[in-house]
Structure 1
């Protein structure tokens, strides 16, 4: 985990929470679901974790997609769902995506403390 990257993404995480979840009275389970997402990525890989969450925890994936699509550092903008973006990525790009998505999830988890 790169502390500076996580801090850098916190304003974007706040925007994602407001845009996707409305930014008020969030379920307390979102924070633990985000923690479990990071563990799932590390244990089973990015694509399997995203596939599982796409089916079972759609709002978590929508938050991560919002951050990916609105990341000011991302040179290329990709539309579509996160699963499809990862599936199309080559190995080098997938490693970068994995790192970014883990940073997004940590940033989201930290910013959720303001709302829960």
Structure 2
């Protein structure tokens, strides 16, 4: 089974929405726990970042079957959770990610594309 991951990242809390941000994070974690319990995802990890001068303050990495994880983005509940996050945080993003052995397939594609590009450039 091919694995896939989603990174859901967020920036600073919108001023005045601190309490709502806490409630939103709890709701999002409950959603992820339920996805894991139902077997829709393999795991998730929440990461809070120390101050580092970027607009990314933290993220959740969701991992599971590639197709199932990709389909999450279109599910109503996922979209609702993301809208909630957007209402309390700036710079919210959802990005497909490669982890573990799936990185090797990405690197293989990279090599293939690089060879094709270099072949075109050397003509």
TM-score by length of 1: 0.30
TM-score by length of 2: 0.29
**Structure with more contact order per residue of length (Cα contacts < 8 Å, sep ≥ 6):** 1
Q: Which has the higher helix share?
A: 1
Pair member with larger Rg:
2
Q: Which has the higher strand share?
A: 2
